[in-house]
Amino acid sequence: KQEAQEIDLPDPVKALPSNTIDETQNGSLVDKVSMFIGDITKLKIDAIVNAANYYLKRGGGVDGAIHRVAGQYLQQECDTLNGCPTGEAKITGGYQLPAKFVIHTVGPQGENSQLLKNCYKNSLNLALSNDVKSIAFPCISTGVYGYPNEAAAHVATFTVRKFLEKHGDQFDRVIFCTFLDIDKELYKKVLQTYFPLN
């Protein structure tokens, strides 16, 4: 089965079709997601996701923050991985971070929902295979890579919702880490859409 057809992203500007989410799962899934506002490097959880670049070389933004706190051995491990294609994900240790692992994923440059979706899915799959039960995502691609914030927030939360409908039992928590006010406001809205409390 084609990965691309597995999830059909709803159009965020139109009303959601009634069958977009499996409502029977709301009760068990809403407790597994949350929003954290602030610096992802502060989180003492199993894994934080890095919005990395193809070469897995220390850059700016969240990547720079993660490398700064993790220390030089993170770059040394990244250098053994032969880079990471857009949409894919690779895992390393967390070194001096409070998080045990860093999952490095490379977002698209510009708006490409399939590739952004792949980032979330491949990161979650890698989490599954490494027994990661708590994971935090930054707003991948919405910084230097220029993905429009609102569209990205929809892709992020919808993709996580669909993934958790299948594998929710294997996660304790998925955290959306927002750093900018605009994302904080957007995630309040999209979380209510895809993980409705009522």
Q: Does 145 bind ligand ADP (CB under 6 A)?
A: yes
Residue 144: CB atoms within 10 Å: 14
CA distances from 172 to 9, 81, 166 (A): 25, 28, 14
In the complex with ligand ADP, the residue whose CB is nearer, 7 or 97, is: 97
9-48: contacts with ligand ADP (CB under 6 A): 39-41
> Residue 177 interacts with ligand ADP (CB under 6 A)?
yes
Bridge partner residues of 177 (DSSP):
36
* # chain residues binding ligand ADP, by CB under 6 A: 21
Interface segment toward ligand ADP; rule CB under 6 A; list 15-23, 71-79, 120-128, 133-141: 133-141
- Quickly tell me which residue has 């039992």 as its tokens: 169
| Residue with the two structure tokens 């069958």 | 19
Q: Which stretch binds ligand ADP (CB under 6 A): 17-25, 78-86, 125-133, 172-180?
A: 172-180
Q: How far is the CB of 86 from ligand ADP (least distance, A)?
A: 10
Does 128 help bind ligand ADP (rule: CB under 6 A)?
no
The residue with tokens 């859409």 is: 193
Q: Given the complex with ligand ADP, which of 70 and 164 has the nearer CB atom?
A: 70
With beta carbons less than 8 A apart as the criterion, state whether 142 and 167 touch.
Answer: no
Q: Is 49 in the site for ligand ADP (CB under 6 A)?
A: no
The one-letter amino acid code at 47 reads A
The neighbouring-strand residues paired with 178 are 37
**CB-based contact 17:10 (threshold 8 Å):** yes
Question: By CB under 6 A, which span of 8-16, 139-147, 161-169, 188-196 interacts with ligand ADP?
Answer: 139-147
Classified as helix, coil or strand, 70 is helix
Q: Provide the token pair at 163.
A: 């993934």
Instruction: Return the structure tokens found at 106.
Output: 């490379």
Site string for ligand ADP, 61-100 (x = CB under 6 A): xxx-x-----------------------------------
Residues that bind ligand ADP (CB under 6 A): 39-41, 51, 61-63, 65, 107, 138-145, 177, 179-180, 183
